[in-house]
Amino acid sequence: MIRIFNFCRPVVKASPRRRMKLAFVVCILGTCTVAVRAHAQEAAPAEVKVRGRASESQRLQRSAEAVTVVNTDRAKRQSADMGEVLARIQGVALRRMGGLGSDARFSLNGFSDDQIRFFLDGVPLDVAGYPFGIANVPVNLIDRIEIYRGVVPVRFGADALGGAVNLAGDRRYDTGANVSYQFGSFGTQRFTLGGRYRHEPSGIVARANGFFDVAKNNYDVDVLVPQTSGAQIPMTVRRFHDGYLAYGVSVEAGVVDRPWAKRLLLRGFTTGYDKDLQNDAIMSRVYGEPTYGERVSGVTVRYEQPLRENVELELVGSYAYRSIDFVDKSHWQYNWLGQRSRELRDFGRGEIDAKPRDQTEWQHTGFARATLAWTVAPEHTIRLTTTPTYATRTGEGRLRDMTVRDPLSARNTSMTLVSGAEYEFGAESRFQNIAFVKNYVYHVDGEDIELNGAGKSLEKDSLTFGAGDTLRYRVNDWLYAKASYEYATRLPRPDEVFGNGVLITPNLQLEPEVSHNANLGPRIELRRSRAGDIAVDVNAFLRESDKLIVLFGTERFYSYQNVYKTRAIGVEGSFAWTAPFRWLTLDGTVTYQDVRNASSEGLFGAFDGDRVPSKPWLFGSWGARLRFPHVLRADDWLEAFYVGRYVHRFYRNWESFGALDTKDAIDAQVTHAVGVTYWLHTDLTTLSTSFEVQNLTDAKVFDFFGVQRPGRAYFVKVTADL
């Protein structure tokens, strides 16, 4: 791994032609390594013991890919949302700006936001109909979570810098239904409903899912309230303008397991959300009327079919229409008590700044992916993937100077084409290797409309290459080790280039960011031993990035900027133990990451060697579950559970900026959650009821920027699977 890393270091500064040559050399080296190990394997007796067919989650976890797989079976019965489930995974830090529906920053091994790609069944999450971010996706619609750490498989056709997250939905095609309802503190209610049908003789299948979420988020916060004398006094007040409402419906129909189609499915969806905005990013200003929201509608078609006995084709196409609304046109300024404190007529309208806003932006996105897999011989597979994505955005500001051109009316477009090829050897052998190369094509053009209405054409193109290799060596049935490397490129997303229509302003000068990503570590999976089930996973990682795209700005507005270099090194681990007869389970995770600015010149040259601000560097979680079977009848059980989380103290600004005693920092935080679940299985249905207390000690919890999160909260959740 170190040799490969040193070999690929010059790729950053090489010409496009040399990058391509180096990329293919890496692929050849990986293939040669495979051949040598394959010869060694043929000379040695096989020691693989077959113990039945592994599940898809087990197959992924035990593969050479740098992936952590988390099943959501237990989370579906509990009240923790997707954000809480993700935050309990090693290497993942998820920080929020409030309660349900608030903006969230997902971080994996030091990378965050769009540096990580998010998918639903292999389709980008926003194109699949979830514009409100991964933290607010209903858990009960997802079967498992796949976290790819730094090295992303070619089959996703993705340009991720620091990894990817794939949410795998329910792929069962048997007839059935499921429903869940949750209610609790701060006016929270969450409802999901799903049904599926299969006509066995014809292979026709149909599925429908829906969800509805609503929350007032009216929890208590500690703030400084100005008095008429001009002084500010500390007070505990209740949030009054932080409501959230989201909904979504999807319908899927098609055929499966036919001679002419392994899978042919058409999915249509429509989703949306509305969110109140109460304060800025550091809770220094309070708002009483601004709101924003989005609507997304679209279709996805999926086709899978073997072309020959050893050749398989998969085609995916998706289109999404997205509208983004933002309204801030109040005549009044509010205080933390929800009272109008001053009329803004003499200073212009709008609470966020002096300019009123009532605007909508529209985005059309087309996504497609074609994958061809050719098994040239047993244990030898070649895959080719190409993924074009096209997006165009324009908008309208309804409160503007009609004498000049509307800045939002500019039509901005972006096009990406990510292609890749990989060679896999030994999927079922002791040694498995996957070598791959990728190609990234990027084009963006648009207009920069100045204050006087004049438009300036902007255009940018780039062509880059990447390569990588992943391997796994299985020592025996319960111990194996993984190593992986990728020279990765991440192309700017439309939201980064064009802004989000709310608080993020456009920047068409963004350049693709690149990174060397490496992982190394063992995993232990001991099943049904005398000591119970034991799983231990340890991973050391390196991320060395150039032209990193980071969100910067004031408390009012932000824009994405290229930072020259960063370097992240760290180690993460997880542990789980289940006692014999499964009556007790203990688990825990820990992550240490040292993410530092490596720029010796430019805008951040003065902070060379500093930790990147607003990124926790030490955090972890732990939990316990105690199960009591046969409480009321032979087919039920009662489970009491506990979950704790810790985040070490970290700075909100650069470490070398300011005096030590005046540095702005987020103090160490510890939170606890407890609950109990009752589960009952009958011939007709499976029922569960859960009661949970989150933030048991009512601790003060803050996000990256210092916005206070909810205190103690109580939730009840009922689920049924028919």
Mean pLDDT per 10-residue interval, the chain, length 722 residues: 39 41 36 36 36 72 94 92 92 88 89 89 91 90 95 93 92 91 96 95 95 96 82 90 96 95 96 94 88 96 94 97 93 89 72 85 95 95 96 88 78 92 93 96 82 71 93 94 96 76 70 93 92 95 89 70 87 96 95 92 84 90 96 93 94 78 83 96 92 95 79 96 90
The DSSP output letter for 279 is B
CA distance linking residue 164 with residue 158, whole number of Å: 8
In angstroms and rounded to an integer, the radius of gyration of the C-alpha atoms of the chain is 26
* 8 Å CB contact between 566 and 612: yes
Looking up tokens 């998706």 gives: 318
* 8 Å CB contact between 418 and 157: yes
Tell me how far CA of residue 586 lies from CA of 284, 480, 557, in angstroms: 41, 22, 44
Residue 111: its H or E element: strand 111-112
Q: Enter the tokens of residue 622.
A: 């732990």
Closest residue by Cα to residue 704 from 133, 242, 96: 96
Q: Enter the tokens of residue 568.
A: 């992240």
* The model's pTM: 0.87
Distance spanning both ends of the chain, measured CA to CA: 49
CA distance linking residue 534 with residue 527, whole number of Å: 7
CA distance linking residue 650 with residue 594, whole number of Å: 12
CA distance linking residue 679 with residue 631, whole number of Å: 10
Residue-level pLDDT at 368: 97
Residue-level pLDDT at 13: 42
Looking up tokens 């720029």 gives: 599
Give the type of residue at 379. E
Q: Enter the tokens of residue 494.
A: 């439309």
Q: Enter the tokens of residue 464.
A: 């880059």
CA distance linking residue 669 with residue 307, whole number of Å: 55
Looking up tokens 């194996």 gives: 480
Backbone angles phi, psi at 562, to 5 degrees: -80, 125
* 8 Å CB contact between 623 and 655: no
Residue 7: its H or E element: helix 2-8
Closest residue by Cα to residue 440 from 414, 413, 415, 465: 465
Listed in sequence order, the residues at least 6 apart from 639 whose beta carbon sits closer than 8 Å to its beta carbon are: 625, 626, 627, 628, 676, 677, 679
Listed in sequence order, the residues at least 6 apart from 50 whose beta carbon sits closer than 8 Å to its beta carbon are: none
Closest residue by Cα to residue 460 from 500, 413, 420, 407: 413
The DSSP output letter for 59 is H
Residue-level pLDDT at 500: 59
CA distance linking residue 261 with residue 255, whole number of Å: 7
CA distance linking residue 407 with residue 356, whole number of Å: 14
SS (H, E, C) 488-540: EEECCCHHHHHCCCCCECCCCCCCCEEEEEEEEEEEEEEEEECCEEEEEEEEE
* 8 Å CB contact between 209 and 250: yes
CA distance linking residue 140 with residue 137, whole number of Å: 9
Give the type of residue at 525. E
* 8 Å CB contact between 394 and 449: no
Chain centre to alpha carbon of residue 160:
11
Looking up tokens 């400084």 gives: 224
Q: Enter the tokens of residue 527.
A: 């099943």
CA distance linking residue 156 with residue 160, whole number of Å: 10
Query: For 7, how many CA atoms within 13 A lie in the half-sphere containing its CB?
Result: 19
Q: Enter the tokens of residue 230.
A: 């001009």
